[in-house]
Structure 1
């Protein structure tokens, strides 16, 4: 199967924002009831101390939340906790595997026309939690709801390649999607964040009905949601009897609840917390690799970074391992100035760039940029940003470059750095490489922070989307990445782990799934020993 995205269908799968607040988090968790079970013994990396799968029990998982504004409308999910709850109650036509390639879910198969402008999607035999079967009408209603301009739904941009007026139900289990232009990566759209399938006509989600592995039981925004096993789930009934999502906005509250036996799963922990408890025997720490790209972005349309020699010099100034060790506390791996390490289409044949201060100084002399002073915008909007900026300023000084670190407002940072400044700290959650290119690197991309604008690059992307042969398309992506590696505006210095922890009696947690992928928060495959 071939795999969504066009220059006008921009993903915004940036890492979700954890809301502040929640002073009563520990009290809420303490009231959750029943103990976590045994926490003795620590598994070897990549193994389950919980042994073989077994059925039964309620797993309690704690996430940062958003207070009274939280929703169970799957098309409005924004926070990690909302995404995890949506995954428990609903499903999409496809979802992203650990390499960010689209994997069939409610779609049993997809088939393009020869020109990649029509895609025929065959649905699985699946049922909603009220017993009604999934149909093509449900899919078309869901996508039309998402693309309603009055709805402001997050997945709307990802589905804009579809002409939904021309698309139709061929029969109850077959949908023909008509696209506005060739799109070889269309299955990426089916897997887009928030593109969940709901019942035909559904608008009220106070008691949601979905095709997911769990059925709704109760919900208190900003506090708790309980769901029970959906025995007729198309992918096999979950091992758990119930899953409860609990909110604790402070990381200390989440790890203390886990240590105290009030929950069995704690989401989003810092490297410091992970080091403190890893190997201690009380909990199991799980690191989800390559979950977040870490970078500096150079504005290629203005001085000094409109000169490719200056950009190359900055690539060579960076000591990537020191940045990973300092800004990420070692919880990650170095980057090579390209997005998507380990993902489908990643050009891993390009040699790893290493630090070379002599060559950096020579390039700056050639560019007439000796004794250069550059502003670096950073903020506390993301963990490690300020540390990364400080470390890079010290590294640049060794090449004779003065980097002035400027602290920005964390509430407006992402909009502030989109068009202004010269150099800024940046990160991205996991998404397909095609989506990164479409969203950030085309002339008309809506979040083009590096101001990379090349007609030849745009043409290669368009050619890739009209190319159904995967090998030929892979070669086109490699050509684009070689250009970006040589003279692009993203100095990608690292990829951060996403860290969670569980009680030692929890089995089945996917240890290879980046955040936002199919295996992340996959509670239908988890069990309690």
Structure 2
């Protein structure tokens, strides 16, 4: 059936003009499970922060959470990460290593694309070759780098033998890599995309809205919804007010302060996934002042992580220790927790000749807590003698602007294995290396751990790399936030799940009462 007409795009002015409802007058409920048996039908409208008019539907260019949500609706990966970071089969029903870990054989399940054609080994090989194209900056390229795509081949229509450049014990993480979606062989244009995901394409207007409808032949079973619409608004207040005013049914990325204001009521449901969102500041190591290790160490010392967690997250999270992946496998929990030490920070700044150092901290209202984190941390820097200024960037271009520009920026990340975080953000050629951390010895350690079958030895490499990052790196990771989404009371089936994992944004499992 044709899509039901809806207003496209969601702006703060449009939201607030359409509703006079305030947070204080709104109700909420603790979860979206329970209720009556699942029903089918209807259109769910979900509001996400977006990337502006330059957004595309190429699944290999995913960067923002809204990109991932759209890609998940249209496409599948061979595997995905569960909430505990364990790899879960998706289009791949199995994978088995060769005797020396330099080959892996992957067997595909029976699945079809939206045009009715089967998902074949040739589609997988084409998709991975496209991601690995050296002329492109596709997000998953560094994760797939161990694959020798020229030597890899189809054994039959549903079986691929992947040949690797070196032994790789954690091969399943490749299959689950962020952005490693499977597209039909030969696909180059994505104006009317064809995938094998739970929804098929209807329409897309960059920076405004995206509409898909149920794909009845989805291999895991047809979604319960008739249609899904994703609309874009970069301001959290606009997203929550759209939910309160009935313009949307699902508001992504809600702050703890907003959530707390609604606890104990009934018209809005909240789903919180503990400690699933890394919160931090990114210092660029390739330019002054943060090319000086003493200045970076002063920043680590002056930061009051507990104040940031209590203020920005309203206490709904845990303190970080300048390392990604707290609680995940291979996390270096034995490294002593940093505490605020203003005397040490001032001494290091004096030694670096950086007293009264002018520093601009970039931020934007692109995610819950970003402006607040910048304000709190700027005050902390000033207490150590730094002349801190906060620069509010354009939300539509913030991530592109701060990837290569500026010196210090508010940063965050959803959940992923620690190895994937390293691959995507900390190798010399990583596509989203915002801190510009480039160390040959660090890259070499990552190659070694990939090739190491022994679990204990591999854990040792991870610890060495994290100790180096803790002492010398450019990520000041102050906390881990609970991931919160809000829905209307009529929405059911939204599960607790860290962002970027399998059960996050699983709109094919959601229904409307």
TM range (shorter): 0.7 to 0.9
Q: Contact conserved, 1:374 with 1:422, CA < 8 A, in 2?
A: no
Task: Indicate the residue corresponding to 2:211 in structure 1.
Answer: 225
The Cα of 1:151 is off from its aligned counterpart by 6.4
The structure-2 alpha-carbon separation of the partners of 1:439 and 1:210, relative to structure 1 and needing over 3 Å to count, comes to closer
Task: Indicate the residue corresponding to 1:197 in structure 2.
Answer: 182
The structure-2 alpha-carbon separation of the partners of 1:521 and 1:29, relative to structure 1 and needing over 3 Å to count, comes to farther
Cα separation, 2, equivalents of 1:144 and 1:97: 26
Q: How many residues align?
A: 492
Q: Contact conserved, 1:97 with 1:103, CA < 8 A, in 2?
A: yes
Mapped pair 1:375 → 2:358: yes
The structure-2 alpha-carbon separation of the partners of 1:475 and 1:507, relative to structure 1 and needing over 3 Å to count, comes to farther
Cα separation, 2, equivalents of 1:62 and 1:523: 9
Cα separation, 1, equivalents of 2:502 and 2:481: 18
Mapped pair 1:184 → 2:169: yes
The Cα of 1:320 is off from its aligned counterpart by 0.7
The Cα of 1:458 is off from its aligned counterpart by 3.4
2:306 is paired with a residue whose SS is helix
The Cα of 1:204 is off from its aligned counterpart by 5.1
Cα separation, 2, equivalents of 1:413 and 1:208: 27
Mapped pair 1:138 → 2:130: no
Task: Indicate the residue corresponding to 1:405 in structure 2.
Answer: 388
The Cα of 1:355 is off from its aligned counterpart by 2.7
Mapped pair 1:166 → 2:151: yes
Alignment of 1:25-424 (within 5 A): 43-44=29-30, 47-48=31-32, 50-51=34-35, 53-64=37-48, 65=50, 71-148=56-133, 153-203=138-188, 205=190, 207-216=192-201, 218-221=202-205, 222-230=208-216, 232-238=217-223, 240-249=224-233, 251-298=236-283, 311-357=296-342, 364=348, 368=351, 372-381=355-364, 382-383=366-367, 384-396=369-381, 398=383, 401-408=384-391, 410=393, 424=409
Cα separation, 2, equivalents of 1:124 and 1:519: 20
Q: Contact conserved, 1:29 with 1:263, CA < 8 A, in 2?
A: no
Structure 1: any 5+ residue segments left out of the alignment?
A: 1-18, 31-39
1:379 is paired with a residue whose SS is strand
Give CA-to-partner distance per residue, 1:57-79, whole Å, 9 cap, x none: 32412224567765444334455
More moved, 514-523 vs 66-75: 66-75
The structure-2 alpha-carbon separation of the partners of 1:419 and 1:247, relative to structure 1 and needing over 3 Å to count, comes to closer
The structure-2 alpha-carbon separation of the partners of 1:478 and 1:258, relative to structure 1 and needing over 3 Å to count, comes to same
Mapped pair 1:427 → 2:412: yes
Cα separation, 2, equivalents of 1:473 and 1:432: 14
**CA RMSD after TM alignment:** 3.8
Cα separation, 2, equivalents of 1:437 and 1:95: 18
More moved, 468-477 vs 245-254: 245-254
The Cα of 1:483 is off from its aligned counterpart by 3.2
Task: Indicate the residue corresponding to 1:503 in structure 2.
Answer: 488
Cα separation, 1, equivalents of 2:229 and 2:66: 8
The structure-2 alpha-carbon separation of the partners of 1:483 and 1:164, relative to structure 1 and needing over 3 Å to count, comes to closer
Cα separation, 2, equivalents of 1:260 and 1:77: 30
Structure-2-length-normalised TM-score? 0.81
The structure-2 alpha-carbon separation of the partners of 1:458 and 1:227, relative to structure 1 and needing over 3 Å to count, comes to same
Q: Contact conserved, 1:75 with 1:194, CA < 8 A, in 2?
A: yes
The structure-2 alpha-carbon separation of the partners of 1:370 and 1:283, relative to structure 1 and needing over 3 Å to count, comes to same
Cα separation, 2, equivalents of 1:148 and 1:419: 21
Q: Contact conserved, 2:296 with 2:472, CA < 8 A, in 1?
A: yes
Cα separation, 1, equivalents of 2:137 and 2:291: 35
The Cα of 1:346 is off from its aligned counterpart by 1.6
More moved, 243-252 vs 148-157: 148-157
Task: Indicate the residue corresponding to 1:10 in structure 2.
Answer: none
The structure-2 alpha-carbon separation of the partners of 1:147 and 1:501, relative to structure 1 and needing over 3 Å to count, comes to same
The Cα of 1:495 is off from its aligned counterpart by 2.1
Give CA-to-partner distance per residue, 1:274-323, whole Å, 9 cap, x none: 23333322101223344432223455577776675664454333211111
Task: Indicate the residue corresponding to 1:460 in structure 2.
Answer: 445
2:379 is paired with a residue whose SS is helix
More moved, 459-468 vs 149-158: 149-158
Cα separation, 1, equivalents of 2:97 and 2:52: 43
Cα separation, 1, equivalents of 2:247 and 2:284: 48
Q: Contact conserved, 2:250 with 2:485, CA < 8 A, in 1?
A: yes
Task: Indicate the residue corresponding to 2:474 in structure 1.
Answer: 489
Cα separation, 2, equivalents of 1:117 and 1:97: 25
Q: Contact conserved, 1:50 with 1:528, CA < 8 A, in 2?
A: no
The Cα of 1:522 is off from its aligned counterpart by 0.5
The structure-2 alpha-carbon separation of the partners of 1:360 and 1:184, relative to structure 1 and needing over 3 Å to count, comes to same
Q: Contact conserved, 1:101 with 1:343, CA < 8 A, in 2?
A: no
2:311 is paired with a residue whose SS is helix
Q: Contact conserved, 2:29 with 2:263, CA < 8 A, in 1?
A: no
| 1:520 equivalent among 498, 501, 504 | 504
The Cα of 1:227 is off from its aligned counterpart by 0.9
2:411 is paired with a residue whose SS is strand
